[in-house]
Amino acid sequence: MEVSIIFDETTIAWKAYWGDTSWIVGIEDRQLIAKHFGHTGTERADKHFAQFTQAAVLNRGECKVHIGEDNKLVDWTLHGWRADVNRLIIELESEILIAILEYKFFPDIDLIERSTQIENTGQGKVSLRSASSFAVALPAGTKYQLIHLDGQWGHECQVVKTPVGQFETLLQSQEGKTGFEHSPWFAVEELNGTGVCFGALLWSGNWQLRVRQLYENPVGITGGIHPSGFQQVLWPNAAFHLPSAVFGYVHGVLNNAIHRLHDYQRMNRPDRDKPIDVQFNSWYPYQGEPDEKKVLELINHAERLGCEVFVLDAGWYTTEVENPEESWIVRTGDWLINRKLFPNGFKQIKQKCREKHLRFGIWLEPEAAGPSSWVALHKQEWCHTATEGTRKTINLGIAEARVWVREQISRIIMESEADWLKWDFNIAIESNGKPLKDGSNPIVAHTHGLYLLMAEIREKFPELCLEMCAGGGGRFDTMIISNSHTNWMTDQVNAMTNLSIHFGSQLAHCAVHCNDWLIQWPQYHDYGDHYNSGSYGDLEFRTRVAMLGSFGISSATHLWEDEDFEIVAKHVEIYKKEIRRVLHHGDQYLLTKQPSVDGIGHWAVAWYLSKDGREGVLYCFRLSQGAENEIVIIPGLQDEALYEIIPMNDFSVEKRKCNGKELASGIKVYCPGLFTSALLLIKKIKG
């Protein structure tokens, strides 16, 4: 599909049309203003624009840039523009700056990708104090509801719905990373059910999103780098690339919008057709410093369960200079294997993995320098100042530091012969960190350096699977998805809470990137009280929660019974054979609202359907107040086609063959007890 792009010389506005959707931006009072995004025919002129120009720029300014100590708003005039197939470039100029705004249209998935470059054309340096990355305007005359994600460590991605009005909603992070409290993602629903605007900021540093409707004018959504404490020096002839953003509008409901965003994310994933292995991770069975004997035992368990990769998590390392008063937690930075724990180095572990036909993975926190590490002792100028503990963050925006970190990562991968790298980041950076010598903003430089380093590692080790982590979901966003293979979703161990987190996280992140593990089994084994929100669910319930994304196991298997191994191995097998390809590439439908973290509610139901509509996976979880059966409506299938229903539990459904129309009307699913579950495969067999 090709987008029709029209320039209106009279109003100095650009209009784009595809299907039943239209989008408009235009220049008003020396600012580029977002004017409309939504149904064609719902465009309305701004009311009282002259009286509320400043507010309109704040809410809907497409190139809102402030410079200098006095934080002056830059005025723009049109320098030029050009359009080709599904792309529009607008160039704006001021006395000393040029802004190049690029809009890439993806009409097949109803999305616009937006990027901005600011160039200094003057003779002296310019200090940028704020710069927005995008703005969206939704038509006035309609009532809207903002959907966003709130949370904290261990309770990420809780869905919040807020009426859109004159009181602004601010979403943000100032932790030097995406953060736990909010996610740089939004969806704004029309309350009459006709459409949804949605989007994401492609950024993993400090950021903000603002949503507000001013009087009778359009709803404004804008976002970019967080302006608090921000400063970026632009030298003559230098350019600064703002974080990109992606936003879209779909007719219909939220699930439609999520399909489009996930399509975009999967389209930009590295090695997108490569399946993510089922992993066994060493962390939760023996938190801290597991020794070689215990790790070798876990490798045996991983093979017995049918896992495909064994990942050695934190605690295996030490520093060249050991301080006896320091715990293993802070001995990061030198990445030397602790010979007290592993007298044979990596040799026995990787050899055992190969014997068991398992790939091998290793945990690193490349940006973290402990107090006794070489960097902390000899290269403090490479470091940000940490806000907690005694560790520092190496600034990847410093080229020399990034090269050194790359060499350390490469050395460990080659020494261990790792096929999988779990890259963690457990430190927050003080607001905007320590300024760099060239005037670059340190967190912006660090974030760009992070993306560059991730790309360099993937290029050097093309078979490596790169899993990102930040104490769980602390650095999880669309840009991280574009640079890695999967992401550790949360440090939460409780399956019921994780079920809730999946229903939030998978709004903003495609399922293949939501990496979860079966952890809390045996049921009452102590995995750390600070994680727990209560213990609910039998082993099947807990395993199936972990199977909602990329699947792994990190459990005290040395305490398991034979029956436990049999149950989980069966699930691993069916995940690999039947489920993984659907979750990794298909459309997701959340058929119930997000369950509460404590399990209070009736049922939680999620449906994943392959792109060709030939196979799907239905997950049903009965909660604390649920009846023993639930009518589940299954969307997306062909009315007249015949489908076979294959339950993993014989009791789950009575009818085993239905046409698409019957499935769309609802089938009765049974779960015999509270906190039990049903897992159904549905396959097209005729039509």
User: What are the tokens at 353?
Assistant: 């993995």
Catalytic residue at 491?
yes
Helix (H, G, I), strand (E, B) or coil at 274: coil
β-strands 279-281, 207-213 pairing? unpaired
Cα separations in angstroms, 64 against 71, 120, 253: 12, 16, 31
Residue type, 521: W
Catalytic residue at 424?
yes
- Torsion sign over Cα 502, 508, 510, 513: negative
DSSP secondary structure code for residue 260 in this structure:
H
User: What are the tokens at 309?
Assistant: 């990769």
β-strands 420-423, 465-468 pairing? parallel
Q: What's the CA dihedral at 169, 174, 175, 176 to 10 degrees?
A: 120
With beta carbons less than 8 A apart as the criterion, state whether 603 and 590 touch. Answer: no
Q: Which residues, 6 or more positions from 51, have their beta carbon under 8 angstroms from its beta carbon?
A: none
Tell me how far apart the alpha carbons of residues 481 and 195 are, in angstroms, rounded to a whole number: 26
Q: Which residues, 6 or more positions from 66, have their beta carbon under 8 angstroms from its beta carbon?
A: 72, 73, 74, 128, 129, 130, 131, 227
Helix (H, G, I), strand (E, B) or coil at 359: strand
User: What are the tokens at 640?
Assistant: 């007249």
Helix (H, G, I), strand (E, B) or coil at 349: helix
Tell me how far apart the alpha carbons of residues 49 and 14 are, in angstroms, rounded to a whole number: 18
User: What are the tokens at 311?
Assistant: 């990942």
- Torsion sign over Cα 173, 125, 103, 4: positive
With beta carbons less than 8 A apart as the criterion, state whether 678 and 620 touch. Answer: yes
Q: Which residues, 6 or more positions from 378, have their beta carbon under 8 angstroms from its beta carbon?
A: none
* Residue of 277, 491, 516, 587 with catalytic role: 491
C-alpha triplet 681, 685, 687: angle, nearest 5°:
130
DSSP secondary structure code for residue 331 in this structure:
-
* Residue of 419, 424, 477, 587 with catalytic role: 424
Tell me how far apart the alpha carbons of residues 119 and 326 are, in angstroms, rounded to a whole number: 47
Within 413-498, strands assigned E span 420-423, 465-468, 486-488
**What secondary structure does DSSP assign to 10-67, as a single string?**
TTTEEEEEETTEEEEEEEETTEEEEEEEEETT---PPSSGGGGHHHHHHHHBTT-EEE
- Torsion sign over Cα 332, 336, 340, 341: positive
Active site residues: 424, 491
